[in-house]
Amino acid sequence: MKAKRAQARGLAVVLFVICLALPAFAATQYVVIRPVANVYSQASLDADVVSQAIYGVTVTALDEKEGWARIQTPDSYQGWTQAADLKKVESPYAASGRVAHVIGLSANVYRETSVTKHAPVITVPFETRLEVLSEKPVEGERWLQVRLPDGRTAWVQMGDVTLEPKKLSIAEAIELAKKFIGVTYTWGGTSSFGYDCSGFMQMLMRQRGILMPRDADDQAAWSGVVPVKREELQPGDLLYFGSSDKRITHTGMYIGNGQFIHDTTSGHPSVQISDLNEPKWSKLLVAARRAK
């Protein structure tokens, strides 16, 4: 399942070696201005999607060609994104000052403090960060004024965001994971509009304050985790599936009582809870990891 992204990582290495022999390219910062921007293995819509970057995230352009930029996302993932999905910035967006963090599966952003007068300016996914302009919420503490990455001012409802995000406990992360049950599986997905298996796990660990690699095989080999025996599994442990521990193709999180939550194409493609004792999953489980 991760073979294509492994090829993309190999291509990134080749491009890096080639670039050593070329004149230096001045890296440029861009902010994502689409709700979700696809990151492709090549500068073509016909190429496979290897990851995504959500609205308001600042990325670094490592190379550019007409209509495209080869970017590096904050988790050090590289690939090609359409230039129309990006806006050049002098400094990272929503990296300082008061920042509103979207806590729902999505949030509508409006041009005024009304949900009825006009359609939303944009609908953004979970984890989106927005720069706060107003010192205090208005209209009975319901609305918060924000500055969008393109410079426009807009309004978001307080119930959709938090100004004081916190690291989640394992139990809280599992409860959060359950809120995404039914969200469709999307290859390369890293947003609440559609995750893939490793993107979903990466997000859950990030909510615990743990910054983990993007892909399942890299996660299992990461120095920030330790091996766990199946009989010693605890809620919050990460499970890795495949034909062997050298060919990991899927991941999920153990939630206790022999169950795990994951984003899978099995059955109905979505975030779901499965039984680890089912023959299919029991046979494919090749590794388990616990964060240090």
Contact predicate 185/263, CB 8 Å: yes
Residue 4: burial class (beta carbons within 10 Å; 0-12, 13-18, 19+): middle
Given 19, 118, 197, 268, the catalytic residue: 197
Given 19, 101, 118, 250, the catalytic residue: 250
- Residue 141, CA distances (Å) to 75, 79, 117, 137, 138 in order: 35, 41, 19, 5, 5
Contact predicate 130/99, CB 8 Å: yes
In degrees and rounded to multiples of 5, residue 110 shows phi and psi of -115, 160
Give 135's DSSP letter: S
Q: Please tell me the distance from the alpha carbon of residue 40 to that of residue 36, in angstroms, as a whole number.
A: 13
Contact predicate 202/73, CB 8 Å: no
Contact predicate 264/251, CB 8 Å: no
Is 197 an active-site residue?
Answer: yes
User: Does residue 205 sit in helix, strand or coil?
Assistant: helix
Given 19, 101, 118, 262, the catalytic residue: 262
Is 19 an active-site residue?
Answer: no
Is 118 an active-site residue?
Answer: no
> Which residues does the annotation mark as catalytic?
197, 250, 262
